[in-house]
Structure 1
């Protein structure tokens, strides 16, 4: 995870450096380039935090939401929570903190890092920081609560905070609550949120229903799923591919792979087309059933349909290929994944390396290790077996 975070950070920073605007002065780009270069090359996380704080003195740097997100994720993956607090608390000294959008960014980052207490503290401080709190920052706090898995706090925040702030929960607020109940496994409570929405005059949207579909299909409660589809139709909400992908994952999870195949075929001939996640569901299903030939056929089919494979595509196929001795294709897919910047879990790559060596394909194994080094995998995570 730490390796992936470092790679994402490096990829994003390189992109940022090459797209920096040059419309002000000729020294602007080199200055931003040097800031970004220093950040993504820094291996010492303490120094990274220090450099980040210095860099955030630039207003243009503070406008870059993604660089905040990638930096914090990198620190979170290494469990350096004190450094996250250090760099986010330092942002309070800038005038941006009086802008609700900037404050929401910091609250959300705390939530993504599992630091709800810090998110709540910042939210409570916003009035003293001259930042007006609206339903948007309330939603950010509620979402941070769910992201932090503080489910024992969620209902209290949702129930008490709106009246304290004199704000009315909106559809996003209710959708966050639906997600929270689904993640808690309280699916009946999630459905009841639709009634609460009706009482408040808030109309459910596609996200509301898709979240419910994911929850019920993941729990194999197909009878309730049909009721959600009916409610969606009554609400004049049209399903999208995410709706059908939830059903596909549910069918595959209970071994109904033939029904999943039929659904994908129906989608292929209709208005809503299957996407990479649809094909991934089939690949995982066939791999789970030990039907590798069908899994490979689906992979070939998605390429023909100009679908771009993603990390989960490769991570579903490569282990099965290695287990079944198809090391040549496993080697090819590992190379393809890195050329597409889909960085696989190091254990998947190591499994391919070990399999290649076992089959006396040492040259290919060494090539994979070499590619792993070039793509920032650590020497200990992907290596030649001793």
Structure 2
């Protein structure tokens, strides 16, 4: 395949939020006034830097994440989109996603982002239960979330919503009702995440202090199984461990990650994976916004790290990403995976025990395996 035909995604990290959620461990900072021109210039210079490295590519996805990119000025979003299109060839059906929270301020801006070039909205509703929303530190109600969804669906042809489940004291019936309400709204894509306690977050501190106890693993597993059953029954099957879609509504950008394709990451703390001369390179930008902006002005980019992954690290990432999906990964006869005989034995044992399926080199996780996928990956690569 000609390099110019190979797909490329661009991830843009907007680092600011109105408030920091207690479960969030992303690179985020409390919202402040921003210099619109500084961000447009910085993002533009970074994109030029990466375009020189990647060369001509087929741009299939731009994803604005954060943070809360719906707090960014629409002109910044538009400038990034137009710059990306000017630097790389892009497909006619390019997917351009913006993450948003369902607050009144952001709802009023949906049409502006649509006019700026965004064609897919990812709405962070997170829960349809007011008490759960308070627990999660969200600044909207369930009613406001559903109202925002109505506005989003009237503005964008492609809308996804995020929900978090396996909350303390949440029952199977409560989660089933939330799911059914969300699916009844007619969305074509759902991102459904179990609550995890990440180090350094307010939730991690609360759990260590004994203020509340996370959901037991058995209960979380039951909720995961219920999720798969309920979504599949209405035509929203899982195409990845946490993502469900009607056919044709799968996230192109997320599939770039899971297929281990190339993507550029710009903005404070963004990560990227780029192929150069047959090797996969990892990148990470400077985390602090002021330092990031200064670096771009002085050096023309905000890169803090850029290094070639070892063949073993590349294999691990390809394996860990691919097994999250229903497509799985392909292990060819000459794959370096087979150079470690003990690893092959462990893999075959997982297949024999029903956690993995191996169909002529196409490796997928079974329903049983998906429930303990992190453990399986650790077992294979230990």
Q: TM-score by structure 1 length?
A: 0.32
Per the normalisation by structure 2, the TM-score is 0.32
Higher strand proportion: 2
More helix by percentage: 1
Higher relative contact order by CA 8 Å / sep ≥ 6: 1 or 2? 2
Please say which structure displays the higher CA radius of gyration. Answer: 1
